[in-house]
Structure 1
Amino acid sequence: MNPTFSDNSQIGMVATFSELVHTDFKGETNALCWFRNLEGDFAAIVNQLQLKENITKVSPQDLLALQLSQKGSIAREIILNDWRLLTDFGASPSLNLLKCYERDEDFDFISTDVYSYHVDRSPITTDTFLCTYHGAASEIITNKQAVQKVQIPEIREQLKALHSGDSAEFEDFLKDNYFDLHYQSLPNKTPTNLGVGHLWRLAVDHPKQQVLPCIHRAPVEKEGEYRLLLIC
């Protein structure tokens, strides 16, 4: 098992899907990892799928239509089983073939795309599940290792200049435009890479959440390599 995971107080380790969905987040732990060393040839799946846009959704029917080797078939069954587990649990998984995400180029002083450290927010009780089967994997960082971008004085002043409403509405302006969801790493802090094949559950900001939401970001993709990511 990866010592980076097991020695990190932010991460809780589980051995089954049932543990993954039923273990409570506590204290500093806001990420749970079902650690797996997966068999199968996931590259074979990626090589047969057709990228139609920078992000292409892949359905179970798309996977079943592929002509795969034995190892490719093993990889396909792992993905389909993860899909079934999450669907039976009540989640709505999406399998994405990724070249890249859209970059946020609206402002030069703050970025709000998924390559920026951010947390997820929901009005209902939920969590984020994700697994990278192929390509670069997402990263997380502890809440102590980052600062909310809207609390950085120079960024906050520029956001105030951007805000045209009453000063009493400024905090609502930050939320409405998702500025408050984004974070900046403190100097010399190293994120944890989530690795390939592990199924993760990350804490989301919602009214009943008992821990701080998990700060994460999408990786910079490797040149010439697509990502295959299951997320919900």
Structure 2
Amino acid sequence: MIHPSSDRPQTGTVFTFSELVGTPFQGMVNALCWKREPDGDFKEIADKLQLKENITEVSVEDLCALQLSESGCTARETILNDIRLLTDFGASPSLNLLRCYERDEELGFISTDVYSYHVDRSTVGTDTFLCTYHGDASDILPNDQALQKILVPEIREKLRKLHNGPEAEFETFLKEYYFDLHYEPMPDAQPVNLGTGHLWRLAVDHPEQQVLPCIHRAPVENEGEYRLLLIC
């Protein structure tokens, strides 16, 4: 059962993993939160993991090899349990230690990186799951508080010039390069921060989806701080 938030009508709260994966999105709700406050020291895990690249995927073996305090071990068990639950559900969770994502600033007038508000798209019925254990968390944006970037006249005109092809192929061009997935917040938009420790399920744009896809973005990381994130 979804417990919708009166001030955040696009989000709902559940209290078990089975509710998280088994509750269909409905109405305006396109983001479900398994609300929880897990015990343990997740910062210790982030500090002891080895960052090899800006985004380092952490294997279960790497996680289990860490020498941790009792509080760190408690945090590790939460992560391992989340990985088990999602894997048994049929998902492919990835635990990432992040310094930063790659920026897309080549065009200047439009960005298609994860720091831009965007939706995820899939050709099959699926959802996005994510949990930030340590560091800043992502934001989501109500769909009625966002405007698709390709509908902004100035941006659309520049994209037409970039396309420089037949008008009949313009919409295909926008999808091929993922321009249509990105959004601008309206002036009075009120983003919702996903917080740490909670496991979220976000609606994805796909043919079987019954609700609007969830608009979200990654936070800009603070210098010298890492994020520990589970995503699939």
**Which bracket does the TM-score occupy, shorter chain normalised?**
over 0.9
Kindly indicate whether residue 85 of structure 2 is the aligned counterpart of residue 85 of structure 1.
Answer: yes
Residue of structure 1 equivalent to 2:20:
20
**1:116-144 CA distance string (max 9 Å, x none):** 00000000000000000000000000000
CA contact (8 A) 1:6 1:12 kept: no
For structure 2, list consecutive stretches of 5 or more residues without a partner in the other structure.
none
Residue of structure 2 equivalent to 1:179:
179
In 2, the alpha carbon distance for the partners of 1:25 and 1:183 equals: 21
Residue of structure 2 equivalent to 1:74:
74
**How far does residue 19 in structure 1 lie from its aligned partner after superposition?**
0.2
CA contact (8 A) 2:145 2:188 kept: no
Matches within 5 A, 1:44-193: 44-193=44-193
* Amino acid across the alignment from 1:41: D
Q: 1:227 to 1:108 in 2, by over 3 A?
A: same
Equivalenced residue count is 229
CA contact (8 A) 1:138 1:193 kept: yes
DSSP 3-state at the match of 1:33: strand
Q: Percent identity among equivalent residues?
A: 71
In 2, the alpha carbon distance for the partners of 1:5 and 1:194 equals: 14
**1:80-108 CA distance string (max 9 Å, x none):** 00000000000000000000000001111
**1:125-173 CA distance string (max 9 Å, x none):** 0000000000000000000000000001110000000002211000000
Q: 1:38 to 1:6 in 2, by over 3 A?
A: farther
In 1, the alpha carbon distance for the partners of 2:155 and 2:28 equals: 27
In 1, the alpha carbon distance for the partners of 2:189 and 2:13 equals: 22
DSSP 3-state at the match of 1:137: coil
DSSP 3-state at the match of 2:161: helix
After superposing the two structures, state which structure 1 stretch, 217-226 or 120-129, moved more: 217-226
In 1, the alpha carbon distance for the partners of 2:120 and 2:195 equals: 20
Using structure 1 for the length normalisation, give the TM-score.
Answer: 0.97
Residue of structure 2 equivalent to 1:221:
221
